[in-house]
């Protein structure tokens, strides 16, 4: 199996590139929910660590800031999306069930956890296979990239960022805004 962390050059057409690896259009949708509120230092620095890991890997991901003040001060629709995901029970909550667990990484609509879980997946070599859609984000079973539901745990994979929100939230690659 080829290295799933390799993606095609941005100028290539969707599908497999010349080396037989996947292009960005075929990779899993990654959403990182963080906080820019520095008053809660543990969550703030945990958010920075998760963002740094995704940036170092060169992944394209949606960055959602749970800080309501930032969302109100900008034209981003982060809080609207968070409210929608809360209503759909997509997000993980703290032990008391009242506060959204931050930071939080969601891959293909499946909440996988915080920066520690993300780092563990990277250390074990599983993160690249999840991003390449060759490993279920929920149960870690092998799968083919075109499956929409896991054969083992029956979880359904889906994109959670609606097309109408794509221009009104941050999409980053290596820490820089991308299309």
- pLDDT tens over the chain, length 179 residues: 445 544 444 444 334 444 445 555 689 999 999 988 877 789 899 999 999 999 999 999 999 998 876 666 577 888 889 989 988 988 887 776 666 778 999 999 999 999 999 999 999 999 999 999 999 999 999 999 999 999 999 999 999 999 998 888 889 898 888 87
What pTM does this model have?
A: 0.81
Q: Are strands 170-173 and 176-177 parallel, antiparallel or unpaired?
A: antiparallel
Domain at 26-177: CATH code = 3.40.30.10
Q: CA-CA distance, 170 to 27, in Å (whole number)? A: 18
Q: CA-CA distance, 76 to 3, in Å (whole number)? A: 35
Report pLDDT for 91: 87
Tell me the DSSP string of 108-143.
TTEEEESHHHHHHHHHHT-HHHHHTTSB-TTT--B-
Q: How far is CA 118 from CA 2, 34, 85, in A?
A: 22, 13, 20
Residues contacting residue 67 through CB under 8 Å, at least 6 positions apart: 35, 36, 37
Report pLDDT for 18: 43
Q: CA-CA distance, 127 to 131, in Å (whole number)? A: 6
């Amino acid at each position: 199996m080829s290295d799933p962390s390799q993606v095609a050059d941005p100028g290539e057409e969707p599908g497999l590139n010349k080396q037989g690896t996947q292009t960005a259009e075929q990779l899993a949708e990654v959403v990182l929910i963080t906080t820019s509120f520095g008053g809660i230092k543990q969550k703030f620095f945990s958010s920075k660590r998760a963002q740094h890991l995704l940036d170092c890997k060169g992944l394209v991901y949606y960055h959602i800031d749970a800080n309501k003040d930032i969302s109100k001060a900008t034209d981003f629709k982060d809080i609207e999306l968070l409210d929608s995901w809360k209503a759909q029970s997509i997000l993980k909550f703290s032990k008391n069930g009242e506060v959204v667990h931050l930071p939080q990484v969601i891959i293909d609509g499946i909440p996988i956890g915080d920066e520690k879980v993300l780092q563990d997946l990277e250390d074990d070599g599983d993160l690249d296979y999840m991003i390449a859609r060759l490993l279920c984000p929920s149960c870690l079973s092998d799968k083919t990239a075109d499956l929409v539901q896991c054969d083992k745990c029956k979880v359904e994979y889906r994109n959670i960022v609606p097309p109408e929100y794509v221009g009104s939230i941050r999409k980053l690659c290596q820490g820089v805004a991308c299309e």
